Structure 1
Amino acid sequence: MDDTGAVVKIPGTVRRIVSLVPSLTESVAATVPEALVGATDWCSHPAGLDVARVRGTKNPDLDAIIQLRPDVVLANAEENRPPDIEALRQAGIPVWVTRIETLEQAFASLDRMFAYACRTGRPGWLDAAEEAWRAPGQGPRRTAIVPIWRRPWMVVGRDTFTGDVLRRLGVDNLYAGHTERYPKIPLAELVERRPELVVLPDEPYAFTETDGPEAFPGLDCALVSGRLLTWYGPSLVDAPALLRRALG
């Protein structure tokens, strides 16, 4: 069963994999690159990835995926739409769906994905990632907000991988108790909360030094790599050290 409890019939040998999640694409490319035959247009790592592109995570080209004859398609419960997953399954293609909201879930999910969906051994980088996060190090605890979009402003809310990553680094998300996972919050309210830190990732909205910090005068802002903050894969090995440096 995949992370959602769905029974997925995977062949004994997996030679052709299509990934519909950028972080899973990077994970497979770092582990069994010869098996990766398709990925989304948003799969930017590793650089120079030469596989068939099947549009985006929310609008995959289902016909193109079917024509690639994958032994398995890798998806994610948050990033990919249930109708697309079901359509591929109806076409006779096994779809393995991950569900990841914490680091511990990421480690366990990736271990199972490689063992059962990819039919390969546990990658060395996964061991290194677990070791890197065993004691990631942190200074005094700080409160933060994590905008992910503007016009309208949206922030990281409850039960997110991003929130768990920051918590382990000593940064507590002020909206972790919100009823929504990615709530829309008026800018005035965000400023009035007076967080000790405003964390501005470069994805999905590409915040920069000139686009984002100016909205939070008098507040400390940290520009960080969205890949380090939200991707679960080989980037987890270096993420603790690089994020600590970026968060200041």
Structure 2
Amino acid sequence: LVPSLTEAVAVTAPGLLVGATDWCSHPADLAVERVGGTKNPDTARIAALAPDLVIANEEENREPDLAALRAAGLDVWVTEVRGLEQAFSELHRVLVDGCGLARPDWLDAAERAWHQVAADATGQRRSAVVPVWRRPWMVLGRDTFAGDLLTRLGVHQLYADHAERYPRVPLEELRASGADLVVLPDEPY
């Protein structure tokens, strides 16, 4: 029920997935049953597929949907990713512990690459604001995966110290923020 985790499983073990959300667009040729969105999955359809494991995320998926899947007798694992190191450990947990796969080489390569990025991150820092939703406008705040990645790339996220993880910010304030960069997500909002 999480597009990024769908991609990780599909790349690691093609054919293992039986279902994915309508938003799971990678790999492009993923031919599995579509089960609705991350926020509105068709829990009856998922239960009918009888998967060994349902993979979810604490931010992407709603607790009532996960409870319905558990009530249908399904094993549901919920991931939490607030930073890069946690992303690596959750990917290992899902792929190795949850799916019973060998640790993929690409995961080790990704860890090495990010450690090299951290070693190379020097120079002038740029500032950024990252809108993640509109109506109302919301931006990345504190304690987020994307914010952690930006910091590792040498980008100062203007709302990183905000009390909320995803603060609502008036558009006028965003325009006046003085950010060097505006980083936009690639998903529809």
2:100 to 113, 119, 124: 119
- The partner residue of 1:200 within 155, 175, 184 is 184
Structure-to-structure mapping, 1:86-125, within 5 angstroms: 86-125=67-106
Runs of 4+ in 1 over 6 A off after TM superposition: none
Counterpart selection for 2:127 from 129, 143, 163: 143
Counterpart position of 1:50: 31
Whole-angstrom CA distance in 1 between matches of 2:50 and 2:94: 19
Task: Normalising by structure 1, report the TM-score.
Answer: 0.72
Corresponding residue for residue 22 of structure 1: 3
Letter in 2 for 1:42: W
Residue 187 of structure 1 corresponds to: 171
Moved more, 111-120 or 146-155: 146-155
Quick one: percent identity of the two aligned structures? Answer: 64
User: Conserved in 2, the CA contact under 8 Å of 1:148 and 1:204?
Assistant: no
Please list every run of 5 or more consecutive structure 1 residues that lacks an aligned counterpart in the other structure.
Answer: 1-19, 206-248
2:140 counterpart of 1:159: no
Note the C-alpha offset of 1:124.
1.0
SS at match of 2:56: strand
Letter in 2 for 1:160: T
Distance (whole Å) between structure 2 residues aligned to residue 86 and residue 149 of structure 1: 26
Gaps spanning 5+ residues in structure 2: where?
none
Q: How many angstroms does 1:197 deviate by?
A: 2.0
The letter for the 2-side match of 1:44 is S
Offset of residue 86 of structure 1: 1.1
CA distance in 1, matches of 2:105, 2:176: 45
Question: Normalization by structure 2: what TM-score?
Answer: 0.93
In the TM superposition, what is the alpha-carbon distance from 1:93 to its structure 2 partner?
A: 0.6
Equivalent residue of 2:184, what SS?
strand
1: CA distance between counterparts of 2:154 and 2:77? 33
Q: How far is the alpha carbon of 1:67 from its aligned partner? A: 0.7
Question: 1:48-94: per-residue Cα shift (whole Å, max 9, x none)?
Answer: 11000000001111111111111111110110011111111111110
Counting matched residue pairs gives 186
Task: Provide the rounded CA distance (Å) in 1 between the counterparts of 2:27 and 2:130.
Answer: 26
Amino acid at match of 1:157: G
